[in-house]
Structure 1
Amino acid sequence: MNALPEIRLETARPALDARPLEKRVGLIALATDHTSEVDFRRMVASERIGVYVARIPYANPTTAENLRKMQPSLSAGAALILPDETLDAICYSCTSASVVIRDAEIEVAIQAAKPGVPVVTPPMAGVRGLKALGAKRISILTPYTIETSRPMAAYFAAHGFDIKSFTCLDFKDDREMARIKPASLVDLARKAADAQADALFVSCTALRAALAVPDMEEAIGRPVVTSNQASAWNCLRLCGDGAARPEFGRLMMKRPGDNSH
């Protein structure tokens, strides 16, 4: 065995940046989620913006009861993301659970661990995105059962949208939802979009729908907003990033509050 070298201590301290990355986005994902983290790294993460992920327990099937069971884990999940450090935004990445638990309660739970952080939920991001696109009459496509879809319809109606059609696929397991081919979503979008709708909302963070947005928009000739795309858009704008990303659809060309076509 060779002799070990003497270890020298460098006494001059290197210069430190205020943060390793300028902006920080937290993501609370389900333990079973295959898609949200990948989508956020694709659409949000950059040399300027870091994405930091925590996962919380979730058990299928996707029922209102099981979705609601995640609420007690939200504070603990948020607390695990860069403890004692501030975030510029945090997203709870479950559309159906956000509707069942309610946006305001999610915000309270997350801000208990991260006071003052802007909280993004996929359905609220969807509402903001649809309004930025000037949509008033919408179609909705979900992979859920009819029972799980009903609260989603009520949510968007309560936010002032005229729902012209609502289509669901009767999937009960979010891991199977993640396996739906993006090309299949294009065909489904064509069938789900009502002729009178201004835009289509595709719900569920498990779906690989963000990859298919441009093709869906081409197929129906109107804007398409998806859960992960809208959440990413909202988080980017909270970080002051207004760069256009047309490869992820028309929404990624918009700023919040811009409701021009």
Structure 2
Amino acid sequence: MTALGILYPGHFAEDDYPRIEQLLGSDIRVDLVHTEAGEDTRQVDALREMGSPERLATGVEGLRLSGAEAVLWASTSGSFVYGWEGAHEQVRALARAAGMPASSTSFAFVHAVREVGARRVAVGAPYPQDVAGLFADFLRAGGVEVAGVRAAGSVSAREVAGWGEAETLALARSADVSGAEAVVLPDTALHTAAYVPLLEEALGKPVLTANQVTVWEALRLTDRRVNAPELGALFTREPIVQV
């Protein structure tokens, strides 16, 4: 049994995680611990507070007791708002506090883009334009070429958590641009676990979503590879070696 520890802010799309655990169909356990989300607004200062060491530390003890082998901070915006170096320090501090390997959803996206062999991506972000721009900057810092950014302008995680298949597909389609080799949909408040194959079929390319890549990154940290076609191209490919 491989136990994955997920620190998830608030209560929005956390039901994606038991769904993903079920779709993995193997000896994988996904343990979810909630942290305090704070003010539900997509303003940079509030997002930085959500990802503060004090907020993350509150969930660490529960994950240690669960037997987790790696921990993921399951917030895209609560990590990339610190910038590339600041997000590295965030996960280093989390690893020290937890006593296990750690990462975050923002780094999961960078690693997942490489995994599917994409060099140019299109971003469809539920966020306001300024926050979406910070995510694009983070991807660029990780060596990912961003072909286009579509910001839906939502200022509330609760609003995004209410989106269904139609809204998610519309966001992905509006974000896709010519030359993009994958479409990236950040925001762990967005339900996507049930829609990835549909999104990929509609766009004809890999689609990477926040809760999907979060679990994949936790598996990567534990050296596990699981074939799960229901979770999209990311879970069906052999590792891509880029030079």
* Same fold (TM > 0.5): yes
Work out the CA distance in 2 between the residues paired with 1:100 and 1:147: 10
Aligned match of 2:89: 105
Unaligned runs of 5+ in 2: none
User: 1:159-238, aligned counterparts within 5 Å?
Assistant: 159-238=142-221
Hey, what's the Cα distance between the residues in 1 that align with 2:64 and 2:102? 16
User: Aligned residue for 2:21?
Assistant: 44
* Counterpart residue identity of residue 41, structure 1: P
Q: Are 1:34 and 2:12 counterparts?
A: yes
Distance 1:239 1:112 in 2: 17
The aligned counterpart of 2:44 is: 64
Query: Following TM superposition, by how much is the alpha carbon of 1:86 offset from its aligned partner in structure 2, in angstroms?
Result: 5.0
Compute the displacement of 1:47 (Å): 6.5
Distance 1:164 1:158, change over 3 A: same
- Quick one: which of 91, 94, 109 aligns to 2:75? 94
Q: How many residues align?
A: 234
Which has more radius of gyration? 1
Q: Which residue of structure 2 lines up, in the alignment, with residue 73 of structure 1? A: 55
| 3-state DSSP of counterpart to 1:54 | strand
CA contact (8 A) 2:197 2:232 kept: yes
Provide, for residues 113-140 of structure 1, a one-character-per-residue CA deviation record: whole Å limited to 9, x for no partner: 212x121211211111111111011100
Question: Quick check: 2:80–2:138 contact (8 Å CA) kept in 1?
Answer: yes
- Distance in 1 (CA, whole Å) between partners of 2:195 and 2:89 is 31
Partner SS state of residue 63, structure 2:
coil
Q: Which amino acid aligns with 1:163?
A: V
* Cα distance in 2, alignment partners of residues 149 and 179 from structure 1: 20
Structure 1 vs Structure 2: percent identity of aligned residues? 27
Letter of the structure 2 residue corresponding to residue 63 of structure 1 = Q
Give, as a single letter, the amino acid of the residue that structure 2 aligns with 1:98: S
Structure 1 segments unaligned to the other structure (5+ residues): 1-21
| CA deviation vs aligned residue, 1:49-74 (integer Å, no higher than 9, x gap) | 32222222222112110111121211
Given that 1:27 and 1:51 are in contact with CA atoms closer than 8 Å, whether structure 2 keeps it comes out as yes
1:157 aligns with 2:144: no
Q: TM-score, normalised on structure 2?
A: 0.88
Cα distance, 1:100 vs. partner? 1.4
Which stretch shows the higher mean deviation, 118-127 or 183-192? Answer: 183-192
Question: Within 2, Cα distance between the matches of 1:219 and 1:145?
Answer: 25
> What is the rounded CA distance, in whole Å, between the counterparts of 1:241 and 1:38 in structure 2?
22
Contact 1:133 1:259 in 2 (8 A): no
Residue 87 of structure 1: CA displacement?
A: 2.6
Larger displacement relative to structure 2 (68-77 or 132-141): 68-77
Deviates further, 49-58 or 65-74 = 49-58
Compared CA separation, residues 251 and 259, structure 1 to 2 (3 A): farther
- State TM-score, norm by structure 1: 0.83
Residue 109 of structure 1 aligns to a residue whose secondary structure is helix
